[in-house]
Structure 1
Amino acid sequence: MGEPVNVGLVGCGTIAGQYLETIERLPGLRLAAAADLDPARARETVRSHPGARALSVDELVADPEVHVVLNLTIPAAHAEVAHKAVAAGKDVYCEKPLTVTTAEARELLAAADAAGVRVGCAPDTVLGTGTQTARKAIDDGLIGRPVAATAIMVTPGHERWHHHPDFYYAPGGGPLMDMGPYYITSLVTLLGPVTTVIGAAGRPRAERTIGTGPRRGETVPVNVDTHVTGVLVHDSGALSTLVMSFDVVSTRCPELEVHGDRGSLVLPDPNYFDGDVLIQNLGDEDDRWRTLPVSAGYEPAGRGDGLADFVLTPPGVEPRTSGRLAYHVLDVMESLLASAGSGQALNVAGRCERPRPVTWDAGR
């Protein structure tokens, strides 16, 4: 594998800890530097990583020792930080969503192409054994021709547990932009890219009350739709039904199901890397669900495996967590919201290839 790839981390918030655990676990990655709007958080982050330095964002992207920039800032800052990395001639890997709008994403990808660098993006949960085992079952024909899928994420709202939930209810947030990337990236991985969407959305409450932490009792204005539903038409002809909500208490529906003309699959939560994949086939005795053995995906896996997959993908090969895939997912989400506003079905302009599968890679 040679020398590890030096990672420059921008944004030392909550999610950074999960990435750092993966960077420590994988020999192909090494934390070289960290930056944050709060310099103290950057210093604390590098304290347990010998040789890593706390820098400003501009210092980090300019540092020749940094090979790839890991952009874990809030969504509104994704484009600005990513453009700085690209301008410095660095590959950049972003947390989801890639940017707040498809217009920003197009500009970023064009700038990266012009600079000869690559852009990657989360979510990487689709590289784990859950989604990949289901994908192999589909590709092996275990459920016949795929015809439909359902993807459902409901919660009463993140303000119940998050100390500073403001960005969940600002542009770039909401249930679709926050959680949709996990579900839609999984659907594209399983069934291929989306060509057309039909959407509907609502915003039942004008504000939310923070339920925990030092700001408990404060209200947050709601500036995004908090219940989004729609149908995705895949290029393969399969139809996916999507429900994303910050307004629903609970559901007994599985997070993801895929249905073929000879069988159905129940998948684990796409916000996680693993979990059981269940199958039931037409004609099965007693209509019983069976658990499929793990047959594909990274194991173990955690947030940051997509970064490793990205940086170790050879030149000329599209990374599984590519910026083009993230742009397509963002375009699907933006088109859903636009369809909800217009009441019309809309074509999805952005295109991507179905990502390459991950063969079972256990005990890395």
Structure 2
Amino acid sequence: MSALPLAITQGDVSGIGPEIIAKLFRGSDAAGCFVVGDVGVMRRAAAMTGGMLSVATIEQAQDALNTPPRCVPVLRAEGLPIDLAQAPLGHVDARSGRAAAACIAQAAAMAMRGEVAGIVTAPIHKEALAAAGVAFPGHTEMLQSLAAIDGRMPPVRMMLANDELRTVLVTIHMSLRRAIDAVSFDAVLDTLRIAQRAAVQWGQPRPRIAVAGLNPHAGEGGLFGDEEVTIIAPAIAAARAEGIDARGPFAPDTVFMRARNSAGHPGEFDIVIAMTHDHGLIPVKYLGVEQGVNVTLGLPFVRTSPDHGTAFDIAGTGRADGSSLAAAVRMARRLASERR
């Protein structure tokens, strides 16, 4: 895998994605990376972030390995609007949504063909996708569809991780009311299986997996809801019967503190399974958005992303922090090298 480059999709061009990519290429973390996107957009981003950064067109992924430092190699995605570099900053624009989807599709196709070690995706905007007629609410669902083989989509889950905590979600982009209904025995058990397989791929054959409950105090034996008794605990028991070291369900307001692995506080668990989007993501983001990385588990290729959005409010100001993107690149390299 070390002989293959990493593909970075440019994200929504009306947001901060191109800017943080330009900042990445000013440092050493960008070695062996290239951008799937538009040359004009990346030249605009280079100018916004201080200039003195060249942008060059490449014809194939492998060309990125021969690019000199402080040069952004760009492989143009098919189907991009000609006037994409004129898309307004800080506003929802259908061109930006259509272009973001095109870049993701091309990067995923290259990953499926084995042309790249993995893909790192810059932030997209869900309203812009919808304005462009893209029928996916986010990266995870789109990549799952693009990774289908013979019409069968792989089961995938979202993981948000940093150096202190790794959280995998049972449900993601849906209303909380729908998410509660989506917490089923099969969904919880499949999440445990996917997390276990991913850990094996990154060199951890028997991870300690904690499962957070859905209700306050994990239901207090059914007093505050019975999902822990009727759904979550049976799924944990089934996972343990398969040899997965799953434990819980634990109260969701304390399990993340127990799992946090920091100086002087070795975590009790390697992974926490959370039932809903915000239950799982708030603890990781609170520890620092700049170091958080979104990883899609279950895909046949490595995919990571920064754990923040398009930040329309600061797009074009040069104030965007590229730390999370750099962390996503480093994690993608590590996962690609450890993938078995």
Task: Report the TM range for the smaller structure's normalisation.
Answer: 0.3 to 0.5
Structure having the higher helix fraction is 2
Which TM-score applies when normalising by structure 2? 0.35
Larger strand fraction of residues: 1
State TM-score, norm by structure 1: 0.33
